[in-house]
Amino acid sequence: MGMSKFGPVVVWLACATSAYAEAPLKGKVQDREVWITIGTDALAPVRTALSGQGLRLAAPTFEKGGVAVLRVSESQVEKLSGAMHQGLNRCAGFIAHDSQAEAVAAAEAAHQPQTLGMALAASYTLNNAASVNALLADIQEINIRNTINSLSTNWTNRYYNVQNGADASTWLKNQWTTLANGRSDIKVEFFTHSWKQSSVIATIQGSTHPNEVVVLGGHLDSINQSNPSTGVAPGADDDASGIASVTEIFRVAVAKGYKPARTVKFMAYAGEEVGLYGSKAIANSFKSAGTNVVGVLQLDMTNYKGSSYDFAMVTDNTNAQLNAFTTSLISKYQPGLSYTNITCGYGCSDHASWTAAGYPASMPFEATMSTDNKSIHTPNDTLSVTAGNANNSVKFAKLGASFLAELAKGATTGNTPPPVDSGGGGTLPTASYDSTYKAPRCASAGIGCDSGTLLNGRGTMSPSEANAPNTIAAAACADSSKGTYRTDESNERIRVSTPDGTTLAAGKTVTVEATVYAYSTTADKLDLYYSASATSPSWKLIGTYSPSSTGLTTLSASYTLPTGGVQVVRARFRYNGSASSCTAGDYIDHDDLVFAVQ
Ligand code: BES
Ligand code: ZN
């Protein structure tokens, strides 16, 4: 969400129940509209709470997997925050977006089918035990306790847009710089934002796979829900405990001479409590740069043991395969410990920003939803709630350290690094719309190219396909606009990749995946074509495929890349008819993906 479009006021009232009893919304003509994603479970109670104030909540325009997309006015967002708090005893619990397309994309990503299956499974291996165990042996509770103590007693208001919040970033950056101990392969930097507080990022350059990135993070900011700017917000659990866990992982990595094969980034996000601002800015900038993030671990609240389970895996807005990998780490490296699954019902922490940007993320949490720490967002979120110790966070620091050494591979001093699977974890460079080619394009040759959400929709069916029909200028081909989105046919996404994670080059066999929304398994057909040139295309049929299920489903095929610097793949998803690279007709969607080849 761009801070510029609608100011921070939107979410800083997240839990401020005092601020919403004011003039009704009708007649506020200058009110800007925003789009929100919200858990469907929250709709009824929020609607009831709002109607108590004479306000009506619009019907969702899109719903999927427990997440709804709604249009609201900017001023209504404030009332919605209050209503969430009143109706659900939950803070905010929705994410505001600039556009409907962005909101729908976020809802989609929250429950995306796992189309990255094979590549991910191949690279999530457990074969680095010697290095993991060297790291785990050195994790110390006292260090975690000291960091929580410093943050929660010296920086008792880490709100994202006040000077204290900014100063807390500087303090942490200095801490991490000291821990880096002058190593030339490590740098510690600010990621600055349009508000006062900066995010902090410590990077250990990967020795052999520097372009593949592993992220471990937590949020640096805190909030006093009834007085955000000046109230006392120690945030010992939420989230000094996560920052302290990440800090201890970073410390042991350096202390044990750990040299990761993949690049590792330790992150302390600014502005999580006001709407995941910092992580969203970072994840989106990585996406724009085409950075290949193979896995993200979010540690938000680690020191309070709410239930008998040691870990609760958040299963919404996270990646199922990365979650499976994370629980396999628990079973292998902390075998006495237990875990369960929970859902937040909305993007409750920074993992959701990474998921929305198309990256695999996991968030192991300290409690179940009914047993969560009730002191958060108040002056009472102090270390005394957890008896003055950081025992519970040790488990999370160990989990994070095992995540680090098994995902980034490489080795600690004296240990032999295991082989690193290629394939980059399944995340591919993301295309962006190219107004010259008139289709999504990856301008430089990488391990593949992913249209991401750019091809969602068909023609002007609401919500419409952005830049429809997304077919190359040299072979434009219209879409039908007939029917209803996500009931009738649409091609939603195209990915092209090398199965071995090497760069796209002439002569290599590549996998093409098309994610379609199918109406029928018998009448619907996918025609896939390729052309060596995107400027003077000559289409070759890869094949015609039938969806094996209705709804969202991914079909894949392979072909050998010809010679040509700028190539293109076309997906034509049709209802009845026969194979053709371009024949318009009812319910037919044509989409192209342009990509560079070496
Ligand atoms: N750490 C919390 C999220 C949380 C709280 C998860 C309790 C599970 C149980 C986080 O810092 C937070 O408060 N998030 C906001 C998100 C919103 C601003 C988008 C929330 O949940 O209201
Ligand atoms: Zn938090």
Cα of 349 to ligand 2 centre, how many Å? 6
For residue 116 and ligand 1, the question of a CB distance below 6 A is answered with: no
Which pTM does this prediction carry? 0.61
Q: Which of 340, 373, 408 is the last residue of a domain?
A: 408
CATH number for 34: 3.30.70.240
- 3-state secondary structure labels for all residues of 127-189: CCHHHHHHHHHCCCHHHHHHHHHHHHHHCCCCCCCCHHHHHHHHHHHHHHHHHHCCCCCEEEE
- Considering the domain architecture, whether residues 50 and 133 belong to the same structural domain is answered as no
Answer whether residue 2 is part of any domain: no
Of how many residues is the chain composed? 598
Asked if 101 and 61 touch (Cβ cutoff 8 Å), the reply is no
Residue of minimum CA distance from atom 19 in ligand 1: 275
Residue 425 lies in a domain: no
First to last CA, the chain: 36
Our count of domains for the chain comes to: 3
Ion ligand 2 contact residues with beta carbon within 5 A: 238-239, 300
pLDDT in tens, the chain (598 residues): 333 223 222 232 233 322 222 222 323 345 667 777 777 777 777 777 777 777 777 778 887 766 788 888 776 766 776 666 555 544 445 666 667 877 777 666 554 333 332 233 335 778 899 999 999 999 999 999 999 999 999 999 999 999 999 999 999 999 999 999 999 999 999 999 999 999 999 999 999 888 889 999 999 999 999 999 999 999 999 999 999 999 999 999 999 999 999 999 999 999 999 999 999 999 999 988 878 898 999 999 999 999 999 999 999 999 887 898 899 999 999 999 999 999 999 999 999 999 998 889 999 999 999 999 999 999 999 999 999 999 999 999 999 999 999 999 999 999 999 877 643 345 688 899 999 999 999 999 998 999 988 999 999 999 999 999 999 999 999 999 999 998 999 999 999 987 667 789 999 888 888 989 999 989 999 999 999 999 999 999 999 999 877 887 778 788 999 999 999 999 999 999 999 999 999 999 999 999 999 9
Q: Say yes or no: 213 and 306 in one domain.
A: yes
Among residues 408, 443, 461, which one ends one of the domains? Answer: 408
Which of 273, 434, 450, 524 is catalytic? The answer is: 273
Whether residue 95 has its Cβ less than 6 Å from ligand 1: yes
Decide if 219 is catalytic: yes
Question: Distance between CA atoms of 159 and 234, rounded to whole angstroms?
Answer: 10
* Residue 568 domain flag: yes
Parent domain of 55: 14-110
φ, ψ of residue 475 to 5 degrees: the values are -155, 55
| Residue-level pLDDT at 69 | 84
Residue 141 φ then ψ, to 5°: -55, -40
Cα 406 to Cα 424: distance, rounded to the nearest angstrom: 14
Among the listed residues 250, 264, 249, the one whose alpha carbon sits nearest the alpha carbon of residue 398 = 249
Supply the residue whose CA is at minimum distance from atom 16 of ligand 1.
348
Position 398 in a domain: yes
47/138 same-domain check: no
Closest CA to 470 of 564, 569, 596: 569
Element (H, E) at 224: none
CA 63 – ligand 2 centroid, Å = 26
Q: Which pLDDT score is estimated for 113?
A: 32
Backbone angles phi, psi at 521, to 5 degrees: -85, -10
Residues 379 and 449 in one domain: no
Nearest to 272 by CA among 245, 312, 299: 299
Per the annotation, the verdict on 209 as an active-site residue is no
Residues 80 and 140 in one domain: no
Q: Is the CB of 273 within 6 Å of ligand 1?
A: yes
Longest dimension (CA), the chain: 71
User: Are 52 and 156 members of one domain?
Assistant: no
Q: With contact defined as beta carbons under 8 Å apart, do 457 and 488 qualify?
A: no
Give the domain-ending residue among 110, 139, 174: 110
Whether residue 307 is contained in a domain is answered as yes
Q: Are residues 404 and 436 in the same domain?
A: no
**Ligand 1 atom nearest residue 300's Cα:** 1
Looking at the fold, whether 252 and 281 belong to one and the same domain comes out as yes
Looking at all shown ligands, the one closest to residue 14's CA atom is 1
User: Which token pair is 114?
Assistant: 């796992």
- Give the per-residue pLDDT at 259: 98
Cβ proximity of 485 and 471 under 8 Å:
no
- Are the C-beta atoms of residues 534 and 472 closer than 8 Å to each other? yes
- Identify which of 32, 30, 19, 28 has the alpha carbon closest to the alpha carbon of residue 84: 19
Q: Is residue 122 part of a domain?
A: no
CATH of the domain at 279: 3.40.630.10
Note whether 91 and 166 are same-domain residues: no
Residues 82, 165 within the same domain: no
Same domain, 100 and 133: no
The per-residue pLDDT for 118 is: 28
**Within-domain flag for 8:** no
Considering only CA atoms, which of 532, 578, 582 is closest in space to residue 559?
532
Same domain as 210, residue 68: no
Asked whether 91 lines ligand 1 (CB < 6 A), one says yes
pLDDT of res. 50: 73
Task: Say if 422 falls within a structural domain.
Answer: no
User: What is the rounded distance in angstroms from the CA atom of residue 406 to the CA atom of residue 258?
Assistant: 12
Verify whether residue 377 is a known catalytic residue. yes
Task: Name the closest-CA residue to atom 18, ligand 1.
Answer: 275
